[in-house]
Amino acid sequence: MTDSAALDALAETIRQRLASGDPDSSYVARLHGKGLDAILKKVGEEAAEVLIAAKNDDSVNLVHELADLWFHCAVLMAHADIAPEQLYGEIARRAGTSGIAEKASRGTSSNGA
């Protein structure tokens, strides 16, 4: 399975779980039912766990925490009705552009990536 196929499959699973709407059998449905603030809280918690795993130089745990963060970002995308193709398009648009130039094109200030 390609990377994009894996992300597409994850997005489809999340869409199916949201469609079922059964919070007793689906974590995704339960989290979605709690609303945007609960989803954002989970994204923030997972991001913090990524930082801790990276700081602890624990690559095995870092992979697990990154997967959790990606999952919760995918739940957020579904909540916001953003399809994976939209994300792929944005990533493709940025390909070959420095982070400094890309941020400047949006009119935001940053140290760049």
Confidence (pTM): 0.81
- Does residue 88 lie in a domain region? yes
Residue 25 lies in a domain: yes
For the ranges 68-72, 100-104, 106-110, which has the lowest average pLDDT?
Answer: 106-110
**Residue 21 domain boundaries:** 3-105
Question: Does 38 score more than 70 pLDDT?
Answer: yes
Q: Is residue 81 part of a domain?
A: yes
Bigger pLDDT: 77 vs 93:
77
pLDDT at 62: 97
Number of domain units in the chain: 1
Residues in Cβ contact with 93 at an 8 Å cutoff, skipping those fewer than 6 apart: none
In the chain, pLDDT over 90 holds for what percent of residues? 65
User: Is position 113 within any domain?
Assistant: no
